[in-house]
Chains A and B, each alone.
Chain A
Amino acid sequence: MREYAFFLGCIAPNRYPGAESASYKTSEKLGIKLLDLEGASCCPAPGAFGSIDLDIWYAMAARNLILAEQMKKDIALICNGCYKSIWEVNHKLKHHPELKERVNEVLKGIDMEFKGSIDVWHLAELFYDPEIVGLQKIRDSITVPLEGTRIAVHYGCHLMKPKKERHFGTTEHPTWIEEMVAALGAEPVEYRNKMLCCGAGGGVRGYDLVHSIDITNEKMINLKEAKVDALTEVCPFCQLQFDRGQIEIEEKFGVKYGLPVLHYCELLGLAQGMSPQELALDLHAVSCEPFLEKVL
């Protein structure tokens, strides 16, 4: 059993607890144990904090990293926004000694020091990595194959972009999450402009909601065209934007889509036999019933 410090972030534990619960249970079946990272905070939100003062963003993210350094465990997380903060600050502080010094100067005041002794991973990349879990192991863990369903993937931005700094290869047309969807027995579906942003990031959702959900609406139009049963993603903030965003789109633009949006961990949970109640799918703004009827 590999052990990781589980960095929760905000939206998964405080809005979609089913995604958190599913992460513990599904990864345990795949040989990954997620440990509590006590006292972790918001990553902090890369859009809000990065826009105000990058130095504060570095220092706040470093505090979270140090908590995991003290546990001597790598971090695993389930949100692209958190990945941007936690992975990128870890990377920057490791490679820019003068930055690390500046941050440690501040953290001295709370008896903390960034050492750079751990790595940060998105749970999805650990699932995909054949040396850690891999597709075969995912397939073997499935008890309720999602056969007969068409599922589209939203990759989100901050996991793989900017590609020069990351290690995921192409950001124009990736297919690795589609492979993971196919491993659940579902049919992964391509759609127009797949890599388009969900519209929530950079503080835009709070700054100009209509602008933000207009981007989401463009994605929804493209998804409708592809006739999918559900959308899956690996970022609770994107999930919030697509899920609650559909209600907002209905209010502001008068268009109704009713497309269920599930985090990959929730989808994996369903395929591993977890019930919709165990995944708190009733907390989703858009009902998952039409999708569940096809699956269960």
Chain B
Amino acid sequence: MARTKGYPEALDKKLADTRLYEDERHPDFTKTVEKVSMTIPHMCFQCGTCTASCPSAPRSSYRIRKFVRRALLGLEDEALTDPDLWLCTTCYSCTDRCPRDIAPTDVIMAMRNLAFKRDIVPVNFLKTVQAIYTTGHGVPNNDVNRAARQKLGLNAEPPTTHGFPQYVKGIQYILDYYELKKNADRIVKEREG
């Protein structure tokens, strides 16, 4: 980088964090995100309509515009290790308002998929997987609810995998096919012992 002679050292230090280093960039990351998300982050001109529409932005440091920028600069590590990645409520307001026809929400979803491949995932996501593997439901039935259902004249168990548990096998087959249960158990065990 060209430098002015006698460039003040303090400023140099201050700007160090904002510089983009070539070795942090992974062009493949941009391509993978585009493929998984089926959208076009490279069209982004950084207007910020997405962040302005975001319900998570006013109450956190989560900036969706930044993630789209990271997608197209190929800043894989920076994007995937940022805990803010998991603050998107997937409300799709940004997607509806994007003047470049990008779906920033889907960019986030693709990045989360790629993060999971590196075991970066909050435990609550995996617990939903475990619940579905056992019962077929992410929010399973309980005794209070069973009693209430019967009072309403419904069966204590709804006619889903709860009432027909033989169907759970098919669900377990799909999750085992992708080794999702195995990975979920392993990661939860690593985190919680």
Q: Which residues of A contact B (CB under 8 A)?
A: 8, 10-11, 13-15, 17-18, 20-21, 36-42, 44-56, 59-60, 63, 106-107, 109-110, 112, 157-158, 161-164, 171-172, 195-197, 199-204, 206-208, 211-212, 214-215, 218, 277-278, 280, 283
Q: Which of B41-49, B52-60, B67-75 contacts A (4 or more CB under 8 A)?
A: B52-60
Q: Give the number of residues in B that approach A within 8 Å (Cβ atoms).
A: 66
CB <8 Å contact, A201 and B91: yes
Measured CB to CB, the nearest residue on chain A to B111 is A51
Partner of B151, one of A37, A41, A46, A280: A280
Judge whether B93 is part of the interface by a CB distance below 8 angstroms: yes
Interface of chain B residues 113 through 168 with chain A (CB within 8 A):
113, 116, 121-122, 124-129, 132, 136-142, 144-145, 148-149, 151-154, 158-164, 166-168
**Which residues of A are found within 8 Å of B96, using beta-carbon distances?**
161-164, 171-172
**Which residues of A are found within 8 Å of B116, using beta-carbon distances?**
51-53
**CA A3 – CA B168 in complex, angstroms?**
26
| 7 A-B pairs with least C-beta separation | A206-B124, A39-B167, A197-B91, A13-B158, A161-B92, A41-B136, A202-B90
CB <8 Å contact, A20 and B158: yes
**CA A100 – CA B125 in complex, angstroms?**
25
**CA A279 – CA B103 in complex, angstroms?**
39
Interface of chain B residues 71 through 105 with chain A (CB within 8 A):
86-93, 95-96, 101, 103, 105
With contact pairs A14-B145, A41-B136, A199-B55 given, residues A157 and B161 touching in the complex (Cβ less than 8 Å): no
**CA A196 – CA B96 in complex, angstroms?**
13
CB <8 Å contact, B89 and A21: no
Judge whether B171 is part of the interface by a CB distance below 8 angstroms: yes
**Which residues of B are found within 8 Å of A109, using beta-carbon distances?**
173, 177
CB <8 Å contact, A211 and B170: no
